Amino acid sequence: GNSVTQMEGPVTLSEEAFLTINCTYTATGYPSLFWYVQYPGEGLQLLLKATKADDKGSNKGFEATYRKETTSFHLEKGSVQVSDSAVYFCALSESSGTYKYIFGTGTRLKVLA
Amino acid sequence: GAVVSQHPSWVICKSGTSVKIECRSLDFQATTMFWYRQFPKQSLMLMATSNEGSKATYEQGVEKDKFLINHASLTLSTLTVTSAHPEDSSFYICSAKGTIGYNEQFFGPGTRLTVL
């Protein structure tokens, strides 16, 4: 079946450090890929998405490229801020049927001033 | 656009009572709604998928008689937790897919249920 694997957290970085959160997937067909962010006590916010191979999603300094050859969608940011502290979820949307989402386990990021 | 609301945002109830959570799409028609459950520090687990006007499809291991889902209109779905017990305490999140975006789900802010 389809699945999403994220790197284990927590990830602790100093402000202005470079961030990478790895995400790989297993899927049939051509899924869409997403990164969501969840702040404490809140719901999910879409951070960025990519709908086909080689697409790059970007938002608020975060980027991720849909790599079909490596089945990956790693999240990167060149310089993190304390306000980026949150939990980040990688997800895929199945490419048929009800287009269910499959979520990764989430990676907690803590940025220190 | 693509706003999904949930009500209530939090609820505390006594064991044995039933609780209803509403999920509304505010500016688009939601042909499909999804209900998720999230335990502390864990990922979202899909509970069920509902299409407007038809019965919900539950994921394996989810008790359909305990978690009643109704999707009576294109803008409203409800989740009723019947005879709630402390182990039902969780964060419940809905999402909606429909006439906006390309098969993209739009998420509500979640409802925190605490059963005493």
How many CB atoms within 10 Å of residue A52?
11
Residues of chain A positioned with their CB less than 8 A from the CB of B46: 100-101
**For testing contact with chain B, the best of A30, A38, A90 (most B CBs within 10 A):** A38
Mean pLDDT of chain B: 92
Q: What angle do CA A97, B93, A32 make, to 5 degrees?
A: 40
CB B54 within 8 A of CB B46: no
pLDDT digits (tens, 9 = 90+) for A16-35: 999 999 999 999 888 999 99
B32 contacts A105? CB cut-off 8 A: no
Q: B60 CB near a chain A CB, below 8 Å?
A: no
Residue B104: which pLDDT band, with cuts at 50, 70 and 90? confident
Q: A105 CB near a chain B CB, below 8 Å?
A: yes
| Single-letter amino acid, residue B29 | Q
In the predicted model, what is the mean pLDDT of residues B66-71?
Answer: 94
Q: What angle do CA B67, A26, B33 make, to 5 degrees?
A: 30
pLDDT of res. B78:
96
CB B106 within 8 A of CB B96: yes
**In 3D, which of A53, A87, A57, A89 has the Cα closest to residue A70?**
A53
pLDDT of res. B59:
94
In the predicted model, what is the mean pLDDT of residues A67-85?
Answer: 96
CB B24 within 8 A of CB B5: yes
Instruction: Compute the distance between CA of residue A44 and CA of residue B104 in angstroms, rounded to an integer.
Output: 13
pLDDT of res. A98:
72
* Chain A nearest C-alpha distance from B110 (Å): 5
**Plot region of B9 (φ>0 → left; ψ -120 to 50 → alpha; else → beta):** alpha
Residues of chain B positioned with their CB less than 8 A from the CB of A88: none
Instruction: Compute the distance between CA of residue B99 and CA of residue B28 in angstroms, rounded to an integer.
Output: 6
Q: A89 CB near a chain B CB, below 8 Å?
A: yes
* Chain A nearest C-alpha distance from B92 (Å): 9
Number of DSSP helices (H) and strands (E) in chain B, helices first = 0, 11
Beta-strand runs (E) in A1-113? 3-6, 11-14, 19-21, 23-26, 32-38, 44-50, 56-59, 62-65, 75-77, 86-93, 101-103, 107-112
Reported residue count of chain B is: 116
pLDDT of B87 over the 90 cut? yes
In the predicted model, what is the mean pLDDT of residues A80-104?
Answer: 90
pLDDT of res. A36:
95
Q: B98 CB near a chain A CB, below 8 Å?
A: no
pLDDT of res. A23:
97
pLDDT of res. B43:
87
Residue B110: which pLDDT band, with cuts at 50, 70 and 90? very high
pLDDT of A94 over the 90 cut? no
Residue B39: which pLDDT band, with cuts at 50, 70 and 90? confident
Residue B62: which pLDDT band, with cuts at 50, 70 and 90? very high
CB A109 within 8 A of CB A19: yes
Q: Which of A41, A93, A104 sits opposite B43 (nearest CB)?
A: A104
* Chain B nearest C-alpha distance from A39 (Å): 11
Residue A73: strand, helix, or coil: coil
